[in-house]
Amino acid sequence: MTYRGGAIVIGAILFELFGSSNVSAQSAFRNYHCADGTQFIAGFFNGDTRAHLQLDGKAVTLKKRLSLTGTRYRGGGVTLEISRAGLARLRHARRPATACELA
């Protein structure tokens, strides 16, 4: 799957969120590959508790939720859990949860 269109969407989101500020000093982008073949990009920004995903060709914003074992984000039918050890698990599109790792 190619994310060329996704890069444009992520860029538009960044511009919307931060205007012309220096986003690179305030952000972290992570590429994930999952056991079921799903690939996605997650963007995390200082001062914003949400996770911004590019998943299945669509931009999805997930709100941070309470979790005792790490960090959990939910929104738009998508759940992303990241354990304190850095292991990730994704649920989306009524599919079973799948393990994901950083690419």
**Across residues 3-30, what is the average pLDDT?**
57
Average pLDDT, the chain: 84
Query: CA 65, CA 89: separation in Å to the nearest integer?
Result: 14
The two tokens of residue 75 are 């929104």
Q: What are the sequence ranges of the domains in the chain?
A: 4-102
CATH number of 4-102: 2.40.128.200
Helices and strands (DSSP H and E) totals, the chain: 1, 8
pLDDT per residue as tens digits for the range 39-77: 999 999 999 999 999 999 999 999 999 999 999 999 999
pLDDT at residue 3, as a whole number: 46
Residue 29: band (very low, low, confident or very high) from pLDDT cuts 50, 70, 90 = very high
Query: In the predicted model, is pLDDT for residue 20 greater than 50?
Result: no
CA distances from 81 to 9, 30, 70, 77 (A): 23, 14, 7, 13
